[in-house]
Amino acid sequence: MLKNNFKPPVKIFGNIHGDYHDLMRFFDIWKAPCESGDIAGFDYLFLGNYVDRGPQSLEVLCLLLALKLKYPKQIFLLRGNHEDRKVNRYLGFG
């Protein structure tokens, strides 16, 4: 069983829906999960719904997966209903 051991303080993001520019704006306002940002002091929890609606679903997903690979103990990704195969197909991302 995989345990999600995130600890406070935690930054929580949800419903990005493929809007890469909004994600970057969030990181500009509240700092990014990187060495020059605040990854040492915060865990990051992303609540799903990364794709669809916005024009850059692939870029959002690639960035979040890259962050997860780089910071596996501080980045947590949950799957939302938009990451379901049927919803992706219906909304044009699959």
Which residues have a catalytic role annotated? 82
Strand pairing report for 10-13 and 43-46? parallel
Please provide residue 59's backbone torsions phi and psi, each rounded to the nearest 5 degrees: -65, -40
Q: Are strands 75-77 and 43-46 parallel, antiparallel or unpaired?
A: parallel
